[in-house]
Amino acid sequence: MSLHRSLKTKPTALDQHRNVLTRAERIAFLMERDRFDASSDAPLGLVKVGSRKVATKKKVKKEDE
């Protein structure tokens, strides 16, 4: 059997946007926004954290005259 193309690993696969954050990433995200205190809050049952990919416009190159 062959491997489906979406399951193949590529060097660029590590740079792709992920929708799911690890627990450590979620805690770091919440600590930046002062919504998690490591001394009093439990690391289990964290609130949901949206992982938004920000699309940026590509710069238009100006032609030299």
pLDDT (0 to 100) of residue 31: 92
CA–CA gap between residue 36 and residue 30 (Å, rounded): 5
pLDDT in tens, 8-64: 766 655 567 777 888 898 999 999 999 888 888 888 878 888 877 777 778 777 777
pLDDT (0 to 100) of residue 39: 85
CA–CA gap between residue 7 and residue 22 (Å, rounded): 21
Closest by CA to 51, choosing from 17, 28, 24, is 17
Tokens of 11: 């060097």
Tokens of 63: 């032609």
The pTM is what? 0.55
pLDDT (0 to 100) of residue 8: 73
27 CB-near residues (< 8 Å, 6+ apart): 36, 38, 43, 46
pLDDT (0 to 100) of residue 10: 65
